Amino acid sequence: MRQGFAIDLLGQLQAVAAGVTIELESALEARRVTAAGERLGLTPRVAIRVNPDFDLKGAGMRMGGGAQQFGVDAEQVPALLADLAGRGLDVLGFHIFAGSQNLRSDQICETQRRTVELALRLAPGLRDGIRYLNLGGGFGIPYFDRDQPLDLAPIGENLGRLLTEQIRPALGSAKVAIELGRYLAGDAGLYVTRIVDRKVSRGKTFLVVDGGLHHQLAASGNFGQVIRRNFPVALAHRVDAEPAETASVVGCLCTPLDLLADEAALPAAQVGDLVVVFLAGAYGLTASPTAFLGHPAPPEILL
Amino acid sequence: MRQGFAIDLLGQLQAVAAGVTIELESALEARRVTAAGERLGLTPRVAIRVNPDFDLKGAGMRMGGGAQQFGVDAEQVPALLADLAGRGLDVLGFHIFAGSQNLRSDQICETQRRTVELALRLAPGLRDGIRYLNLGGGFGIPYFDRDQPLDLAPIGENLGRLLTEQIRPALGSAKVAIELGRYLAGDAGLYVTRIVDRKVSRGKTFLVVDGGLHHQLAASGNFGQVIRRNFPVALAHRVDAEPAETASVVGCLCTPLDLLADEAALPAAQVGDLVVVFLAGAYGLTASPTAFLGHPAPPEILL
C-alpha cells in the first residue's frame, strides 16, 4: 500500500457510510474515498472541488486562481475525471470557489458567469453530466467604515439569467448551490462585554472590558486582516447617542494585541456599561483562542 | 456606591482571601481591592503596575511608555500612593514592564537600568519602602531566519551590578523578579502534525497536514505579526536531511490563512511524514482557536 494512503481513511469510511457528498480536494483523496467505498460495498457520492483558472477580483480573501491549497486545478480536472471513470464513484459535479468577502456585485456576477462557463467546459468529462454545481460564495458584509453593503439585486438578476439561459438548458435539473455562511450569519451575532475600568493614560482614554480577543479575535485585527481596522462597536443602552469622546476599547488580557476598538468615537462610557461588538456571528467565538491565559469562556445565548 | 464599583469584586475577594499579591492596574482597582479587604477583615497585599515613562527599544511588543492600557502612568504613581496611604493596603512595591520579545541584550540592559532608576525614584512614596520589585521581561527568542539568539552574559552582568550597586544599598532584601515566560517555555514545545496530502498546484507544492492554525495560530502569522514569516519547521525523522524542495505546509481548514510554512526549504516530504513546528511552547495551543470549524483538538503530551 502506498505510504500514507490509509491516513484518515476512518473519516472517509464514516462519510461514505453516512452517504454524504464528499467534495474531493485531490486525486489522493479520490483514491481514499474509492477504497472506503470498496471496503463498505457502497458507491461514494462525490464532487470535485475545482481550483478555477481565474480569481474573484476584489475579494477580501482569494481562494481560487493561481496556485492554491484548495481543490484540483481546473486544467487537471479532465485527466482526474478520466482516471476516476469506472472506479465506483458517483461523481455528481463540481464545487468551484473563487473567493470570499466581496462587496462588489459586478465582480461577484462576473465570477459567477466565469464559474458557470468553467463548469460547462468541464461537464463533458462527467459520465452522467453535472447533477450538482456549487458556485461558491463571495457575498461580503460591510465590516469597516467606508464599506458599502452588497447590492443583491444585480446578483439575483445575473443568477436568474445564468439559470434560465445556460444552466437549465445544459444541465437540466442539476442542483445549484451558492454558499452564504458569513453573509447570513455574520450580522446575526453580537459580542457583548462589560467595561470594568476606565483609564486615561497620557491623554488617551482606555475602556477596559472583562472580555477581549480570547472571545472575539477577529475584532482585534488578528484574524487575517493585514491592516487593523475597527469592527463597528457601540454602547448598549446608548446605541443612538451621539459620540462624545474618543476611546479605545481594550480587553483584559496582558497583551497589547487585546484591542477591540482603537480610538473609536463613542458616547461617554462608564464602568459597568456594556460594549457591543457587531458582526460576531461568523468568525466569532469559535475562531477565537478561548483558552488563552486561562480566562473563562463567554456564554453563547440564542435569542 | 459608584457605578461599576462592585464589578468583578468576587475576583478581588477571592484573591485577597487567598493572600496573593495583586498587581494593581488602576486607582479603581485599588479601591476594589481595598473594599474586598475591608469586607474580609484582611489586609490585601498589592503592588502597583507602573507604565514607565520610557519604552523597551527594539521590543517585538511594546508594553510600556506612551499611552498604555497597562498599569498606572509613572507620573500618576506618587498621587496614587498618597491616596492609598492609610487605606489598609499593604503596598509591597512595583511591577514595571516595558516590553517583550527583544533580542538585543544592550537594549534589555538599558531598560533594566531605567526600570531600577524609576523604581528608586518612586520608592519614597511607599511607607514601608519597596519590598517587591518586578523588573518585567523582554527576553526574546529567535523565531525567524535572521534572528540571533539573545546574548545572556551582558544581561547577567548588568543585573548583578544593578543588584549590588543600587538595589541592595537602597532596598535591602527586597524581592526582585524578572519575567521569563516565553524565554523559558517557547523552545520547550513542539507542534507535530501529519502530512495527509501532497499536491502540486500550478507549479507550487503544498503539503496538507491534519492540523493547522486551530492548533498553532502563531505559526500561521495571525497572532500579532505584521509581516508573516515562517516559524522554523522540519520533517520528523529527517531533521538533519538537506533541503530538497520548496514546499508550503498548509493546514486542513478551508481558509488560506491556514498556512504553517510558506515556501519552506524542506527535505522531500511524503504523505504520512510528520511536520514539526518549533517554538510552540509559548503562545501555542492555548493561543489558538481550537474550536474553529469543529476539528478535534490535539493532545498535549509532556515528555
Q: Model confidence over B168-192: pLDDT tens digits?
A: 999 999 999 999 999 999 999 999 9
- Min Cα distance A99 → chain B (Å) is 10
Q: Is residue A58 domain-resident?
A: yes
ipTM: 0.94
- Min Cα distance A169 → chain B (Å) is 32
Q: Is residue A157 domain-resident?
A: yes
Q: Is residue A47 domain-resident?
A: yes
Closest partner CB to A195 (pick from B4, B210, B288)? B4
Domain termination site, one of B185, B200, B221: B185
Q: Tell me, what's the pLDDT at B5? A: 55
Whether residues A68 and A193 share a domain: the answer is no
Q: Tell me, what's the pLDDT at B8? A: 63
Domain termination site, one of B152, B185, B218: B185
Q: Are strands A245-250 and A204-209 parallel, antiparallel or unpaired?
A: parallel
Whether residues A165 and A200 share a domain: the answer is no
Q: Is residue A152 domain-resident?
A: yes
Domain coverage including residue A112 = 3-185
Whether residues B71 and B96 share a domain: the answer is yes
Per mean pLDDT, which range of A165-174, A261-270, B1-10, B109-118 is the poorest?
B1-10
**Which residues of B fall within a CB distance of 8 Å from A68?**
201-202, 256
Domain count, chain A: 2
* pLDDT band, residue B20 (cuts 50/70/90): very high
**If you average pLDDT over residues B129-146, what whole number do you get?**
95
Q: Is residue A149 domain-resident?
A: yes
CA distance B240 to B237: 8
Coil, helix or strand at residue B22: strand
Q: Is residue B60 domain-resident?
A: yes
Closest partner CB to B289 (pick from A26, A67, A289)? A289
Q: Tell me, what's the pLDDT at B62? A: 75
Q: Is residue A79 domain-resident?
A: yes
CATH classification of the domain holding A115: 3.20.20.10
CA distances A65 to A47, A52, A106, A178, B201, Å, are: 19, 5, 18, 18, 10
**If you average pLDDT over residues B219-223, what whole number do you get?**
93
Whether residues A17 and A107 share a domain: the answer is yes
Whether residues A181 and A194 share a domain: the answer is no
Q: Tell me, what's the pLDDT at A260? A: 98
Higher pLDDT: A5 or B33? It is B33
Q: Tell me, what's the pLDDT at B149? A: 97
Mean of the per-residue pLDDT values for chain B?
Answer: 94
Which ranges of chain A have pLDDT less than 50? 1-3
Q: Cβ distance B276 to B236 under 8 Å?
A: yes
* pLDDT band, residue B64 (cuts 50/70/90): confident
Whether residues B139 and B246 share a domain: the answer is no
Give the closest residue to A132 by CA, choosing from A69, A97, A91, A174. A174
Q: Tell me, what's the pLDDT at B2? A: 46
Verify whether the Cβ–Cβ distance A201 to B289 is below 8 Å.
no
**If you average pLDDT over residues B56-61, what whole number do you get?**
74
CATH classification of the domain holding A257: 2.40.37.10
Q: Model confidence over A251-298: pLDDT tens digits?
A: 999 999 999 999 999 999 999 999 999 999 999 999 999 999 999 999
Domain termination site, one of A149, A169, A185: A185
Whether residues A127 and A145 share a domain: the answer is yes
